[in-house]
Structure 1
Amino acid sequence: MKNLKLITLFMLFVLASCGSVRVNADYDKKVDFTQYKTYAYLKASIDKVEISDLDKKRILRSIDEAMTTKGFSKSENPDMLISIFTRENERIDVYNNNTWGMGFGWGWGWNPYWGMGMNSAYTTQEGTLFIDIFDGRSKEMIWQGEGSGYLTKNTDKKDARIKEFVDKILEQYPPIKK
């Protein structure tokens, strides 16, 4: 019964951690981000991303929504250029739930067994989305955001999951200087 409670608690923790997107951002500390008002995409760079065209559209639509919400607009002559990059890997988590010891076992008498337990392995697809922002004139990178989390193949949930990735990453842009 104790093992069942531990397994249940662990599974709840795993499911909760799968739902979140872990984010990180880095930027050029010498850049004045208040000067940027317009953006466009680096088409040549985005064309090289090795994901389906449908997923690219989902990502770019989500970026457009987030940037518009922040007050930025698309332009033919942009202040900044946006590029994306993705990476996918398989995450395998193995859990060993052994219990060791000697003592009284089931029913009457002595239990001579040294350990009983279960090994559990869980495999999930984990993806990382990078959003890179470059200065439109100098073409130098000024900001990079990264988000990692589990992926879904369920097409009904893809839009929401990709939007979650993009929104969490772009929460970090523009950076707040301290």
Structure 2
Amino acid sequence: MKAVKFLPLMLLFLVASCSSVKVTSDYDTSTDFTKYKTYAFYKKGIDKVEISDLDKRRILKALESELAAKGFTKSSNPDVLVNIFTKAHQKVDVYNNNSMHIGWHPWYYGPNYGMHISKYTEGTLFIDLIDSNKKELIWQGIGSGGLTTSGNVAKKEERIREFVAEIMTNYPPVIE
């Protein structure tokens, strides 16, 4: 009976673990990030990203919004070039509750083993900021998490905005 009480909590945990975005970043410690005020997208790099043009536009739109909120303006003579890169792979989570209990099931009454399998696609989005004069990477943000593959465009757009917003919380870096 205890296993039945904890099942909704465990399912909530599995869903929550798929929905969060794990974020990390790296940067050049000798860089003065306060001098960067303008940006442009690095078209040559973005064209190589192997996702749909629709998703590229969604990511770039979300980036434009986040960069504007940080005081950046788009420019034909930018301080930084913004590039993206993506990866995706299938993930399988298995929760196995080895305790056996007797309980009601729609098809039978008897032993019930608590094995739950969850399959989803995990995506990783890399956002690179490149000093346009030096042509050097100065900052990289990386976000990984479950992707929305249900076909619901609104949820997909929301998930992309969430990924970009979470990654960009690490910019500018807090230099200690």
Under a length normalisation based on structure 1, what TM-score does the superposition of the two structures give?
0.88
In the alignment, which of 157, 160, 163 is matched to residue 159 of structure 1?
A: 157
Greater C-alpha Rg = 1
The residue aligned with 1:147 is 143
Greater shift after overlay, 61-70 or 152-161?
Answer: 152-161
Matched residue SS, 1:128: strand
The residue aligned with 1:171 is 169
Q: CA offsets per residue over residues 27-48 of structure 1, 9 Å max, x none? A: 0001111111101111010000
Q: Tell me the distance in 1 between the aligned counterparts of 2:125 and 2:18.
A: 16
Identity over aligned pairs, percent? 52
What displacement does 1:116 show? Answer: 6.1
Q: Is the 8 A contact 1:98 1:116 kept in 2?
A: no
What displacement does 1:98 show? Answer: 1.1
Q: Tell me the distance in 1 between the aligned counterparts of 2:126 and 2:7.
A: 34
What displacement does 1:81 show? Answer: 0.5
Greater shift after overlay, 118-127 or 29-38?
Answer: 118-127
Aligned residue type for 1:76? S
Q: Tell me the distance in 2 between the aligned counterparts of 1:164 and 1:156.
A: 12
Q: Tell me the distance in 2 between the aligned counterparts of 1:93 and 1:63.
A: 31
Matched residue SS, 2:142: strand
Q: Tell me the distance in 1 between the aligned counterparts of 2:114 and 2:33.
A: 53
Q: Is the 8 A contact 1:127 1:151 kept in 2?
A: yes
What displacement does 1:13 show? Answer: 1.0
Q: Tell me the distance in 2 between the aligned counterparts of 1:117 and 1:19.
A: 26
In the alignment, which of 125, 128, 132 is matched to residue 124 of structure 2?
A: 128
The residue aligned with 2:62 is 62
**What 5-or-longer segments of structure 2 have no aligned partner?**
104-110
What displacement does 1:158 show? Answer: 1.2
Q: Structure 1 segments of 4 or more deviating over 3 A?
A: none
**What 5-or-longer segments of structure 1 have no aligned partner?**
107-114
RMSD: 1.8
> Is structure 2 residue 41 aligned with structure 1 residue 45?
no
